[in-house]
């Protein structure tokens, strides 16, 4: 399949789905949901220029290293090993988890109910809800040290998840904005179908096709763990590496349940392919 992908007989979308499946990711498991990359860095222009490299996210770096300043902070964290952390890592949160998936899809059932149950029965504080593609990108790539989330496949084919067709009362933000449909970048002209169309074109663009293998190395390949991951600023808390931990050998039931709870809350690294 990878040979066919290299010859561009298979789309980038299909190849990513193939890798996710191979790595044990599935639509049936929120904790191991298919993970897709942020591919764009431009959520402010009136028109999207797919021939300009600056339009795109740096696919060779994880979300925590998209800006030099933030990358240095995570390297510092790794080197210091904060007092309350029992393990040396760059990130204590993950790029894909049940709550991330449910928060993206919160406007659609059954994800609305899933999100509320994960939140203890109600929606989250409005300012923390998924309400804008641009502000989510800024949070995950620059502003929020506990946010390194990537995307889900729906961002490339499902316009419905961007609209509040069920008229859920999602609350009101501190600045007075009432949450409804997801705010789209200017280049989408307020049209979810146009957003999906252009976003899919970006995924299949020449730039992404030429650089996607670097992101695959980070998520599914050799830069996932070990010295290559350290060098790439791409290490996560040891509990995220579910298949690297032999839970059967952990005798203490408290430690075992803590690890399982951690994985179910925060997600899991895909199997290496």
- 192: domain CATH number is 1.10.1540.10
Q: What is the pLDDT of residue 244?
A: 62
3 state DSSP class of 222: coil
Identify whether 116 is part of a domain.
yes
pLDDT confidence of residue 250: 74
Considering the domain boundaries, does residue 51 fall inside one?
A: yes
272 within a domain of the structure (yes/no): no
Distant-in-sequence contacts of 140-145, Cβ < 8 A, 24+ apart: 140/38, 140/63, 141/38, 141/41, 141/57, 141/63, 141/66, 141/67, 141/70, 142/66, 142/67, 142/70, 145/70, 145/73, 145/74
Domain that holds residue 135: 1-266
pLDDT at 54: 97
Span 186-210, average pLDDT:
98
Given the structure tokens 């149950």, which residue do they identify?
117
- Is 145 within a domain? yes
Q: How confident is the model at residue 240 (pLDDT cuts 50, 70, 90)?
A: confident
Q: What is the pLDDT of residues 85-116, one digit of tens each?
A: 567 899 988 999 999 999 999 999 999 999 99
Q: Mind listing the pLDDT tens digit for each residue in 140-158?
A: 999 999 999 999 999 999 9
Indicate whether 28 belongs to any domain: yes
CB 137 within 8 A of CB 56: no
Asked whether residue 219 is assigned to any structural domain, the reply reads yes
Determine the angle formed by the axes of helices 12-22 and 192-203, rounding to 10 degrees. 80
Q: How many CB atoms lie within 10 A of CB 217?
A: 18
Cβ atoms within 10 A of the Cβ of 261, count?
A: 11
Provide the phi-psi class of 176: left if phi over 0, else alpha when psi is between -120 and 50, else beta: left
In terms of DSSP H, where are the helices of the chain? 2-6, 12-22, 68-80, 98-104, 111-118, 133-138, 192-203, 206-219, 227-231, 253-266
Does residue 173 sit within a domain?
yes
Could you tell me if residue 86 is inside a domain? yes
How many domains are contained in the chain?
Answer: 1
| CA separation for the pair 169, 178 (Å, rounded) | 9
């Amino acid at each position: 399949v990878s040979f066919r992908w290299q010859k561009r007989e298979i789309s980038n979308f299909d190849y990513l789905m193939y890798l996710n499946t191979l790595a044990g990711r599935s639509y049936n498991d929120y904790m191991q949901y298919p993970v897709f990359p942020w591919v764009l860095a431009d959520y402010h222009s009136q028109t999207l220029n797919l021939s300009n490299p600056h339009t795109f996210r740096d696919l060779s770096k994880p979300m925590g290293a998209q800006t030099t300043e933030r990358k240095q902070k995570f390297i510092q964290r790794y080197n210091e090993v904060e007092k309350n952390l029992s393990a040396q890592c760059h990130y204590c949160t993950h790029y894909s988890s049940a709550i991330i998936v449910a928060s993206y899809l919160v406007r659609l059932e059954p994800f609305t109910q899933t999100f509320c149950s994960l939140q203890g029965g109600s929606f989250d504080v409005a300012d923390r809800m998924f309400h804008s593609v641009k502000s989510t990108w800024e949070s995950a790539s620059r502003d929020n040290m506990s946010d390194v989330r990537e995307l889900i496949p729906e961002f490339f084919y499902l316009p419905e998840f961007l609209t509040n067709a069920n008229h859920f009362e999602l609350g009101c933000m501190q600045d007075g904005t009432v949450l409804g449909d997801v705010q789209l970048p200017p280049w989408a002209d307020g049209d979810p179908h146009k957003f999906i169309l252009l976003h899919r074109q970006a995924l299949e663009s020449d730039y992404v096709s030429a650089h996607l293998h670097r992101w695959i190395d980070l998520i599914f390949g050799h830069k996932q763990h070990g010295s290559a991951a350290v060098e790439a600023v791409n290490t996560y808390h040891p509990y995220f590496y579910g298949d690297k931990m032999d839970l059967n050998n952990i005798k203490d039931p408290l430690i075992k349940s803590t690890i399982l709870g951690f994985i179910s809350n925060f997600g899991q690294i895909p199997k290496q392919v």
